[in-house]
């Protein structure tokens, strides 16, 4: 497996199976990126067009570069065979345990956000709701594979998970029954747009919901309507936020993706944490689907705006379920401000997460299309060992990291976030 990325002005090519690391020029970097998906003639033709303004890039140079790449492959320094693939980890005989699941319980939504739907006016792909049986099976699997670990985490997301709220409530209630039998302690979090939150929160909290992540990119009514293409719903969302923030013991986080369209909302949204014991998190835009056409703000750009408004930040303890986020607070704040910065502060080396979509597809990294169809194993009638074997292979092939800052490669995710869950 070959991974390519750019760092501090270097074009780096890593062959994971041989351990070879190559620092190459821009042309060779492009040749390697195209080598496995196009013919040599197509590569030469495409790169001659790309570098038409560079007289030093000729057909002869490209052919020599292709020959050098072929030689590295022959030497086992590029695309080296995986000597350990047949010795993939055996989940039944190793001490590693599973501690968390992300469940894409609703592949549908009651908003029509422009960055998610590409203004096509409908939900791309087939709408889907995860069944209670699949959710129940997922809870059983988590318990069975958690070993001696007592604290387990489950995040319900979509789409909009509250469009499948009865299933969420039933799964939470089921897991609460099971945790008493198996000496486990579940922590359940719901990621929602907030439209239905005020109405459904009491029942979910009674069932045992522990936390709410509310996606909110603006406090301006006109901007909210423009983004979501739904009129008059912001007061309903804010009502849900107030209901969550006022629920004792419930961990509340507000998630914002700052872009060129809502950068004026960074300070107003952060101010929510000034007045409430909640966390406001700024999540860097992932260049997936329509995200490739938008300009996101980095952690440093957001922090510059915050320090200008609130002064110097101060370190603080992370809230429950912090994950890869880093948190600070400011003088006079009741809550925290967090950052999830997958691009400017890449944390792939710490990633221990996978996501299960509403139709049973397991994704091990947002960058890539690769994954495993687990639906046949989750719907019952299949031995648990078969599910374990499928997960074993998926975990073994989990990528080392993303390469969002570099050229698109074969196998990269081509769907929009609303099609894969986000």
DSSP strands (E only) in 279-370: 279-283, 314-315, 326-329, 336-340, 355-356, 361-363
Q: Which domain holds residue 156?
A: 100-350
Strands 251-256, 279-283: pairing is: parallel
Distance, CA of 3 to CA of 1 (rounded, Å): 7
For residue 301, give the CATH number of its domain: 3.20.20.70
Same-domain status, 149 and 199 = yes
Q: Is 369 inside a domain boundary?
A: no
DSSP, res 296: B
Distance, CA of 395 to CA of 305 (rounded, Å): 39
Same-domain status, 216 and 335 = yes
Same-domain status, 27 and 139 = no
* Domain boundary pick from 350, 372, 400: 350
Listed in sequence order, the DSSP H helices in 123-276 are 132-144, 165-182, 197-207, 221-228, 234-245, 266-275
As for how many domains the chain has, the answer is 2
Helix, strand or coil for residue 5? strand
Taking only the tens of pLDDT, the chain with its 422 residues reads 888 988 778 899 999 889 899 999 999 999 999 999 899 999 999 999 999 999 999 999 999 999 999 999 999 999 998 876 666 555 445 555 678 888 889 888 898 876 665 444 454 556 788 899 989 988 998 898 788 889 999 999 888 999 999 999 999 999 999 999 999 999 999 999 999 999 999 999 999 999 999 999 999 999 999 988 889 999 999 999 999 999 999 999 999 999 888 999 999 999 999 989 999 999 888 766 555 566 778 889 999 999 999 999 998 887 766 567 789 999 999 999 999 877 666 666 666 667 777 667 777 777 567 777 877 776 666 666 777 777 777 776 676 666 666 666 656 666 555 555 55
Same-domain status, 255 and 155 = yes
Tokens read off for 368? 């890539």
Same-domain status, 41 and 166 = no
Same-domain status, 64 and 14 = yes
Number of helices (H), then strands (E), belonging to the chain: the values are 14, 16
Helix, strand or coil for residue 418? helix
Q: Is 416 inside a domain boundary?
A: no
Q: Is 268 inside a domain boundary?
A: yes
- Cα 334 to chain centroid distance, Å, stands at 28
Same-domain status, 240 and 296 = yes
Listed in sequence order, the DSSP H helices in 1-39 are 26-34
Distance, CA of 391 to CA of 363 (rounded, Å): 11
Q: Is 357 inside a domain boundary?
A: no
- 159 cis-preceded (ω within 30 degrees of 0): yes
Within 10 angstroms of residue 99's Cβ, the number of other Cβ atoms is 15
- Residue 190: C-alpha distances to residues 41, 162, 280, 401 (Å): 51, 9, 15, 26
Q: Is 346 inside a domain boundary?
A: yes
Distance, CA of 261 to CA of 419 (rounded, Å): 22
Please tell me the predicted confidence (pLDDT) of residue 380.
63
Q: Is 218 inside a domain boundary?
A: yes
| pTM, 2 dp | 0.67
Same-domain status, 105 and 49 = no
Same-domain status, 162 and 51 = no
Q: Is 333 inside a domain boundary?
A: yes
Q: Is 230 inside a domain boundary?
A: yes
Same-domain status, 115 and 37 = no
Same-domain status, 139 and 40 = no
Helix, strand or coil for residue 163? helix
* Domain boundary pick from 350, 374, 397: 350
* Domain boundary pick from 350, 370, 400: 350
Same-domain status, 258 and 319 = yes
**Among candidate residues 26, 13, 12, the one with its CA nearest the CA of residue 57:** 26
């Amino acid at each position: 497996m070959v991974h390519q990325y750019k760092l501090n002005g270097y074009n780096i090519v890593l062959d994971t199976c041989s351990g070879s690391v190559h620092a190459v020029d821009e042309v060779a970097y492009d040749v390697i990126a195209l080598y496995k998906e196009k013919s040599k003639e197509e590569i030469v033709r495409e790169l001659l067009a790309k570098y038409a303004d560079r007289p030093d890039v000729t057909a002869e140079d490209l052919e020599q570069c292709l020959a050098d790449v072929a030689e590295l492959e022959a030497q086992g320094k590029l695309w080296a065979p995986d000597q350990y693939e047949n010795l993939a980890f055996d989940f039944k005989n190793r001490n590693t345990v599973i501690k968390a699941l992300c469940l894409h319980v609703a592949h549908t939504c009651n908003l029509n956000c422009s960055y998610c739907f590409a203004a096509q006016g409908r939900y791309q792909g087939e709408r889907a709701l995860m069944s209670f049986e699949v959710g129940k099976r997922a809870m059983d699997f988590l318990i069975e594979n958690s070993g001696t670990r007592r604290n387990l985490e489950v995040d319900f997301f979509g789409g909009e998970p509250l469009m499948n709220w009865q299933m969420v409530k039933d799964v939470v209630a089921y897991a609460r029954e099971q945790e008493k039998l198996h000496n486990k302690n579940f922590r359940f979090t719901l990621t929602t747009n907030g439209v239905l939150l005020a109405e459904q929160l009491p029942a979910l909290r009674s069932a045992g919901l522990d936390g709410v992540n509310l996606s909110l990119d603006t406090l301006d009514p006109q901007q909210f309507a423009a983004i979501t293409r739904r009129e008059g719903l912001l007061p309903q969302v804010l009502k849900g936020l107030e209901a969550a923030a006022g629920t004792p013991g419930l961990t509340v986080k507000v998630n914002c993706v700052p872009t060129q369209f809502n950068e004026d909302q960074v300070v107003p949204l952060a101010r929510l944490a000034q007045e409430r014991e909640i966390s406001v998190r700024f999540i860097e835009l992932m260049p997936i689907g329509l995200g490739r056409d938008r300009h996101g703000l980095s952690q440093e750009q957001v922090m510059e705006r915050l320090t200008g408004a609130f002064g110097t930040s101060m370190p603080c303890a992370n809230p429950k379920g912090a994950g890869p986020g880093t948190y600070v607070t400011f003088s006079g704040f009741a809550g925290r401000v967090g950052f999830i910065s997958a691009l400017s502060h890449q944390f792939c080396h710490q990633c221990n997460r996978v996501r299960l979509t509403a139709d049973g597809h397991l994704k091990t990294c947002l960058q890539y299309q690769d994954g495993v169809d687990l639906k046949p194993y989750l719907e019952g009638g299949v031995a648990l060992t078969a599910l374990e074997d499928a997960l074993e292979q998926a975990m073994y092939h989990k990528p080392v990291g993303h390469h969002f800052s570099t050229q698109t490669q074969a196998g990269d995710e081509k769907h929009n976030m609303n099609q894969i869950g986000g």
